[in-house]
Amino acid sequence: MPAPKVLISDALSPAAVQIFKDRGIEVDFQPDLGKDKDKLAAIIGNYDGLAIRSATKVTPKILEAAKALKVIGRAGIGVDNVDIPAATAKGIIVMNTPFGNSITTAEHAVAMMFALAREIPAADASTQAGKWEKNRFMGVEITAKTLGIIGCGNIGSIVAERAIGLKMKVIAYDPFLSPERALDLGVEKVELEDLLARADFITLHTPLTEKTKNVLSAEALAKTKKGVRIINCARGGLVDEVALRAALDSGHVAGAAFDVFVEEPAKENPLFGHPNVVCTPHLGAATTEAQENVALQVAEQMSEYLLRGAISNAVNFPSITAEEAPKLKPFIALAENLGSFAGQLTETGIKSVHITYEGTVAGLKIKALTSAAVAGLLRPMLADINVVSAPSVAKERGIVIEETTREAQGEHDALITLTVVTEKQERSVVGTVFADGAPRIVAIKGIKVDAEFAPSMIYVTNEDKPGFIGRFAGLLGDAGVNIATFALGRDRQGGSAIALVEVDGAVPDSVLASVQTIPGVKQVKPLKF
Ligand SMILES: NC(=O)C1=CN([C@@H]2O[C@H](COP(=O)(O)OP(=O)(O)OC[C@H]3O[C@@H](n4cnc5c(N)ncnc54)[C@H](O)[C@@H]3O)[C@@H](O)[C@H]2O)C=CC1
Ligand SMILES: O=C(O)C(=O)COP(=O)(O)O
């Protein structure tokens, strides 16, 4: 197998380059390429991995050209510059480094708070201009002031801890912050309205989502305390910049410190030029320590995925360790094949899928197995589906997916049972992985069989009556179709029977039609795996 190739299209620490090289991955470091979308689109097709920060915009157009891309690694936290649904639809894993720069970013927010409280940037400019304006700069103390944190996740929590150390009263608005965590942190959990009314400083630490966009709108700003100071080191768009400028101009807001902007790079901005505004060019994560952390981590994570199939910190797939990956592999194949078997037999709309994991397989990452089963199930209808995109596609189509795990109950150490409920019927298929690593079907609709999945198969259901096998074999023989293996099962003597037959090469439709005419045959279906 040729060495995987990775493109680094943003200014990552060179530490990442070394990691890739050490792991035997070919690496192309072009720190400014991300800013040139046409050039990126022209070469992205050559790479298995793309490592980025925030400057590279991974749009559907880039993804369209990314024919070999398997993984996008964000050396940082926010992945809003990557079109995740489009990447997911293409089966591309998107991973970030959720903690590597959080301390650094929290420190930047605290630095911005001090910069505002003591007007440090303006005082610095004035002093260095030889003005010595000792009376112009009258600051405010931070001790005993109330800090309102909007979004108390990783970074918000670190800001809270630091602020408590600075003797501030900390209140937080975050619908997902548990009361226990708030208590642990020593912050008071409040509603947004309460935060707006009480905070002397407000700092934002949420991602930019439909819900958080303009969380500080004109209306929200009007509800803030007069003299409030606002810090945004999270994402541009959380605050309505035009409304904030108006509130600064009117004197209602005493100051604002912004690291992030609606449009970046911010060459012009409504906030620019106001005397009480402090701006930095998206420097939240810009320390040597943080950049080294995120670069090393993203390079490790991407290498692990490309070389060993391990997945960590993916935003669109469950985590799989390097130890789990080889154990999971045959079961992924089994799950996908079971799904494929059911999918090829399904002709009406699927309502729900129930998967039972029994025995040793129940201890593996069943989320990944379920994704594989669903991908196999839907592939006959949606050729482009893959293990990464399957759960979201199923959700879009309103297919209910349920999983159960239980201890081994029969002769097999590990079993996967896939039950598909359609508008017309319920069909279940059971499989296992033998010691040789080959996945096998061991039951269909409650009838025991034993068959491997093969590239070309014929599935027949019939009444258990003498004569079927001879006629069936005769028809295939006459048509020059060679039978490789033949698996049979029945529920009882004279009851319902199943044949799962592996053949060499494709079976002409005319032969399948003749099989259908054998007395007692109910269903004949060619299958491909
Ligand atoms: N300026 C910079 O260079 C950097 C900026 N960031 C940005 O900081 C932000 C926060 O990062 P983390 O703390 O690591 O993320 P996180 O996911 O740990 O925390 C985000 C918090 O926001 C909360 N949240 C979500 N929706 C909310 C809503 N509607 N209202 C209130 N709270 C809500 C979540 O419950 C969560 O606790 C991200 O947008 C990230 O991109 C991160 C690193 C560097
Ligand atoms: O990690 C994040 O979310 C950041 O915003 C940092 O962005 P950067 O990598 O410095 O362009």
Sequential DSSP letters for 476-521: HHHTTPPEEEEEEEESSTTSEEEEEEEESS---HHHHHHHHTSTTE
User: Measured in angstroms, how far is the CA atom of residue 391 from the centroid of ligand 2?
Assistant: 28
Catalytic residue check, 136:
no
Q: Which ligand is nearest to the CA of 291?
A: 2
Ligand 1 atom nearest to 101, measured from its CA: 43
Between the CA of 226 and the centroid of ligand 1 the distance, in Å, is 26
**Whose alpha carbon is nearest atom 36 of ligand 1?**
153
- Burial environment of residue 291 by CB neighbours within 10 A (0 to 12, 13 to 18, 19 or more): buried
Ligand 2 neighbourhood includes 54 CB (under 6 angstroms): yes
What's the pLDDT at 511? 95
Span of 218-222, 250-254, 405-409 with lowest mean pLDDT: 405-409
Query: Is the pLDDT at 347 greater than 90, yes or no?
Result: no
- Of 298, 374, 228, which Cα lies nearest the Cα of 12? 298
> Ligand 2: which of 101, 261, 289, 297 to mutate, most ligand atoms within 8 Å of CB?
101
Catalytic residue, chosen from 264, 324, 403, 463, is 264
Listing from the earlier edge strand, what are the strands of the sheet with 201-204? 188-189, 169-173, 146-150, 201-204, 228-232, 253-258, 277-279
Tokens for 421, please give them.
């409920």
pLDDT above 80 for 1: no
Q: How would you classify the pairing of strands 71-74 and 5-8?
A: unpaired
What's the whole-number mean pLDDT along residues 201-218? 97
Least confident of 10-19, 340-349, 358-367: 340-349
Q: Which residue in 162, 170, 152, 154 sits closest to 110, CA to CA?
A: 162
Q: Does 344 have pLDDT greater than 80?
A: yes
State ipTM.
0.99
Set out the domains of the chain in order of their start, with CATH numbers.
5-99+289-315 (3.40.50.720), 102-279 (3.40.50.720), 318-440 (3.30.1330.90), 445-529 (3.30.70.260)
* pLDDT of amino acid 193: 98
Q: Which of 9, 12, 32, 53 to mutate to test ligand 2, by most ligand atoms within 8 A of the CB atom?
A: 53
pTM above 0.90, yes or no: no
285 lines ligand 2 (CB under 6 A): yes
Atom number of ligand 2 nearest to Cα 286: 10
112 alpha carbon – ligand 1 mean position (Å): 17
Q: What mean pLDDT do residues 76-85 have?
A: 96
Whose CA is closest to 195, among 207, 182, 184, 208? 182
Q: What is the pLDDT of residues 139-160, one digit of tens each?
A: 999 999 999 999 999 999 999 9
Check pLDDT > 90 for residue 280.
yes
pLDDT of 409 > 90? The answer is: no
Contacts of 130 (CB under 8 A, 6+ apart): none
Q: List phi, psi (to 5°) of 370.
A: -60, -40
CB 497 within 8 A of CB 459: no
Residue 359: pLDDT over 90? yes
Is the Cβ atom of 145 under 6 angstroms away from ligand 2? no
Confidence class for position 125, pLDDT limits 50, 70, 90? very high
- pLDDT-derived band at 383 (thresholds 50, 70, 90) equals confident
pLDDT of residue 410: 83
Q: Walk across the sheet containing 483-490 and list its strands.
A: 483-490, 496-503, 457-463, 521-527
Kindly report the backbone phi and psi dihedral angles of residue 172, in degrees, each rounded to the nearest multiple of 5, phi listed first. -135, 140
Does the beta carbon of 153 sit less than 6 angstroms from any atom of ligand 2? no
pLDDT, average across residues 78-93: 95
**Sign for the pseudo-dihedral over CA of 217, 218, 219, 224:** positive
pLDDT single digits (tens) 27-58 = 999 999 999 999 999 999 999 999 999 999 99
Within its chain, how far is the Cα of 180 from the centroid?
28
Mean pLDDT of 407-415: 91
Question: Residue whose CA is closest, atom 2 of ligand 1?
Answer: 284
Mutate to test the pocket of ligand 2, among 35, 282, 292, 298 (most ligand atoms within 8 A of CB): 282
Nearest CA to ligand 2 atom 10: 285
pLDDT above 80: residue 170: yes
Q: List beta partners, residue 239.
A: 216
Beta strand pairing status for 49-52 and 71-74? parallel
Q: Which of 101, 174, 212, 294 to mutate to test the pocket of ligand 1 (most atoms within 8 A of CB)?
A: 174
- The size of the chain, in residues, is 529
Interatomic CA distance for residues 138 and 106, integer angstroms? 25
Average pLDDT over residues 324-331: 94
Tell me the backbone φ, ψ of residue 73, rounded to 5 degrees: -115, 120
Residue type for position 244:
L
Mean pLDDT of the chain: 96
Query: Among the options 235, 245, 379, 412, which is catalytic?
Result: 235
CA distance 184 to 170: 13
Cβ atoms 274, 245 nearer than 8 A: yes
pLDDT confidence band for 10 (50 / 70 / 90):
very high
Instruction: Compute, in angstroms, the gap from residue 100 CA to the centroid of ligand 1.
Output: 14
Residues with CB under 6 A from ligand 1: 76-78, 98, 101-102, 105, 150-156, 173-176, 205-207, 211-212, 233-235, 259-260, 282, 284-285
The three-point CA angle 237-241-245 to 5° equals 165
Q: Kindly list the distances between the CA atom of residue 91 and the CA atoms of 149, 393, 408, in Å, as whole numbers in the listed order.
A: 36, 12, 32
Amino acid 348: pLDDT: 81
Exposure of 273 by Cβ count < 10 A (0-12 exposed, 13-18 middle, 19+ buried)?
Answer: exposed
Centre of ligand 2 to C-alpha 498, Å, is 58
Structure tokens at 165: 């150390």
Percentage of the chain exceeding pLDDT 90:
95
Helices (H), 147-217: 154-165, 179-185, 192-198
Q: Is the CB of 78 under 6 A from ligand 2?
A: yes
Whether 282 sits among the annotated catalytic residues: the reply is yes
Average pLDDT over residues 364-383: 94
Residue that has been written with the tokens 């070919």 in this structure: 26
Sequential DSSP letters for 406-468: E---SS-SEEEEEEEEESS-EEEEEEEE-TTS-EEEEEETTEEEEEE--SSEEEEEEE--TTH
Task: Provide mean pLDDT across the span 469-492.
Answer: 94
- Cα 105 to averaged position of ligand 2 atoms, centre (Å): 9
The answer on pLDDT for 282 being more than 90 is yes
pLDDT (0 to 100) of residue 423 = 87
Q: Is the beta carbon of 108 within 6 A of some atom in ligand 2? A: no
| SS3 label, residue 284 | coil
Per DSSP, the residues of 298-345 read: HHHHHHHHHHH--B-SBSSS--B-TTHHHHHHHHHHHHHHHHHHHHHH
Cis peptide before 265 (omega within 30 of 0): yes
Q: Please name the residue whose Cα sits nearest to atom 25 of ligand 1.
A: 206
Q: What is the DSSP string of 390-405?
A: HHHHHHHTT-EEEEEE
Ligand 2 midpoint to CA 239 (Å)? 18
Phi, psi of 289 (to 5 degrees): -65, -50
pLDDT (average), residues 229-243:
98
pLDDT score for 424: 86
CA–CA distance, 89 with 58 (Å, rounded to integer): 14
| 308 annotated active-site | no
Query: Are 8 and 288 a contacting pair, CB within 8 Å?
Result: no
- Answer whether residue 164 shows pLDDT above 90: yes
